[in-house]
Structure 1
Amino acid sequence: MELNVYLAGQIHDDWRETLKQKASKKDLPIHFFEPMTNHDRSDNIGEEILGEQPNAIFKDEAASAFNNLRTNVLMQKADVVLALFGDQYKQWNAAMDVGAATALNKPLILVRPESLHHPSKEMANQAQVVVNDLDQAIEALAYIFQNE
Structure 2
Amino acid sequence: MAFRVYLSGEIHSDWRQRIIDACKAKQVEVEFVSPNTDHESSDAAGDCLGAETQNFWRDHKSAKVNAIRIQTAIQSCDLAIIRFGNKYKQWNAAFDAGFCAALGKPYLTLHDEELIHALKEVDAAANGWATTPEQIVEILDYTLR
Contact 1:10 / 1:93 at 8 angstroms: preserved in 2? no
Deviation at 1:92, TM superposition (A): 1.2
Query: For residue 126 of structure 1, what is the aligned residue in structure 2?
Result: 125
Secondary structure at the aligned position of 2:35 is classed as coil
Deviations 1:3-40 (A, max 9, x none): 00000121233221121111111111100010110111
After superposition, where does 1:74-89 map in structure 2 within 5 Å? 74-89=73-88
Identity %: 34
Secondary structure at the aligned position of 1:28 is classed as coil
Distance 1:39 1:145 in 2: 32
Contact 1:7 / 1:34 at 8 angstroms: preserved in 2? yes
| Runs of 4+ with >4 A deviation | none
Across the aligned residues of Structure 1 and Structure 2, the Cα RMSD in angstroms comes to 1.3
Distance 1:43 1:138 in 2: 30
Alignment coverage as a number of residue pairs:
145
Contact 1:47 / 1:59 at 8 angstroms: preserved in 2? yes
Distance 1:13 1:66 in 2: 24
Contact 1:10 / 1:91 at 8 angstroms: preserved in 2? yes
After superposition, where does 1:59-138 map in structure 2 within 5 Å? 59-138=58-137
Deviation at 1:124, TM superposition (A): 0.5
Distance 1:69 1:105 in 2: 19
Query: For residue 21 of structure 1, what is the aligned residue in structure 2?
Result: 21
Distance 1:41 1:31 in 2: 23
Deviations 1:86-116 (A, max 9, x none): 2122221221111111122111111122232
Gap runs ≥5 in structure 1: none
Distance 1:60 1:44 in 2: 8
Letter in 2 for 1:8: S
Secondary structure at the aligned position of 1:61 is classed as helix
Distance 1:11 1:93 in 2: 11
Distance 2:55 2:112 in 1: 35
Secondary structure at the aligned position of 1:81 is classed as strand
After superposition, where does 1:32-43 map in structure 2 within 5 Å? 32-43=32-43
TM-score by length of 1: 0.92
